[in-house]
Amino acid sequence: MTTVSVRFVCVGVLGLFGTVVEAAPQHWRIDPVHSRVVLKVSHAGFSDSMATLSAISGEIKFDPQDWSSAQVQAEIPLHTLDFGHADWNRRMARDDFFAVKRYPVARFVSTRVIGRDETHAEVHGVLHFRGEEVPVVLQVQRNALGRKLPWIIHRRVGYSARATLLRGDFGIDRYPGVVGDEVYIDLQIEAERSRD
């Protein structure tokens, strides 16, 4: 079914905004345990098929005083694709869909960040997936920043992000009447402050 968006990642996207005291650029490592991508695409209008991608890695770099200087790089290993059924996972991994053997990793690299308010921003970037490079815009919300749990040593930041992709942009065009072209992406990203 559909493309991954994400590597998002998406989207790992985003550590962009904050009301933090320090003004120097900071480095944050994406936490693969608490970060995930959810994909959703129409199945002939009957329901939305859903899958997850996990083990996201990458880095967020940002100056809390200047969102426009933020940078995001994230990678998603496509072998983590999970539609909840082993046979279906294997089918979606084949070349006419995710092409996991040929292109095992999806990669997102930001190109600019536009802050909307203290907790919302647009992250523009390029998604490298299946040999294609497609512009993507993530609508991002910052959920929390700091040390909210007593066992956390380093500061953390958490984001939710959404995007809509067209699977045809990545050369995934089989079954146009059965599989929707629009792929809805939901990203949940946590990152930990690393030592600069």
In this prediction, residues 32-44 reach a mean pLDDT of: 97
- Identify the band that residue 11 occupies on the pLDDT scale cut at 50, 70 and 90: very low
| pLDDT value of position 4 | 42
Break the chain down into helix, strand, coil percent, rounded to 5. 10, 55, 40
What share of the chain has pLDDT > 90, as a percent?
A: 69
For residue 70, what are the contacts with CB-CB under 8 A and spacing of at least 6?
14, 15, 16, 60, 61, 62, 63, 110, 113, 123
pLDDT given for residue 195 in this prediction: 67
Whole-number pLDDT of residue 23: 58
Amino acid identity, position 88: W
Q: What is the mean pLDDT of residues 174-183?
A: 94
Where is 91: in which H helix or E strand?
Answer: helix 86-93
Which pLDDT value is given to residue 10?
Answer: 39
Q: Cα–Cα distance between 110 and 106 in angstroms, integer? A: 14
Contact 122, 113 (CB under 8 A): yes
The answer, yes or no, to whether residue 186 has pLDDT greater than 50, is: yes
Alpha carbon distance 174, 192 (integer Å): 40
Q: Rounded to whole angstroms, what are the CA distances from 18 to 22, 28, 92, 108?
A: 10, 13, 38, 22
Higher pLDDT, 14 or 60: 60
The residue length of the chain stands at: 196
Report the percentage of the chain scoring pLDDT > 70. Answer: 86
Tens-place pLDDT, residues 46-105: 999 999 999 999 999 977 667 788 899 999 999 999 999 999 999 999 999 999 999 999
Burial class (CB in 10 A: 0-12, 13-18, 19+), 34: middle
Question: What's the confidence (pLDDT) of residue 118?
Answer: 83
Question: Which two structure tokens, joined as six digits, stand for 176?
Answer: 């146009």
By CB atoms closer than 10 A (0-12, 13-18, 19+), residue 176 is exposed
pLDDT of residue 105: 98
